[in-house]
Amino acid sequence: MRVAILVLIVASTVIAGAKRLADTARLSYQLARLPDLETRRATLFGPWYEGVQQLRRETPSDAPIDFVMLRPEARDIAVLAAAELQPRDVRLFDGWSAWERRTRAELLHDARAANAVPGPPPAPARFVVVVDPKGVQAFSLHTRAGSPRPQ
């Protein structure tokens, strides 16, 4: 009786975990052939990651950068890119009018949490990045003087 119960518990756990384990092993084996971590990241994360790598190459490591997100779907990659670009000071804005008002994006809204982004509105950054996952490039870099904001 005890053995039967034990077999049932362990087998159900192993069987349920086997697919995930096999998937992890297969993915690791495939990526292990790639030469370095950056290549593996680019393969795993998709085209947006290459865009972030380009931004990293084209901006100084301490540069403030304004991200202008043109549509709600841009948030996911904008947040991930902001983390990847650290220590650059990336600020997120929902569209051009928020960017002009210097009002940062509110990423979560929970009436019972503290949602306010700390600190005063940030000064305009030298670099402006338009984030549009449906665009030709997910991230297009501009200087503030040459930003493509609609008039």
Interface contacts to other proteins, rule CB under 8 A: 1-2, 5-6, 8-10, 12-17, 20-21, 24-25, 27-28, 31-32, 37, 40-41, 44-45, 79-80, 82-84, 86-92, 107-108, 110-119
Which residue's entry shows tokens 């795993």?
44
Tokens found for residue 125:
């950054």
- For other proteins, the closer of residues 6 and 135 by Cβ is 6
Taking phi over 0 as left and psi of -120 to 50 as alpha, with beta for the rest, 147 belongs to beta
- For other proteins, the closer of residues 41 and 142 by Cβ is 41
CB of 36 to other proteins, least distance (A): 11
CB of 140 to other proteins, least distance (A): 20
State the Cα–Cα distance between residues 107 and 98, nearest whole angstrom. Answer: 13
Residues 42/46/48/54 CA torsion (nearest 10 deg)? 20
- For other proteins, the closer of residues 42 and 70 by Cβ is 42
State the Cα–Cα distance between residues 148 and 151, nearest whole angstrom. Answer: 9
- For other proteins, the closer of residues 55 and 82 by Cβ is 82
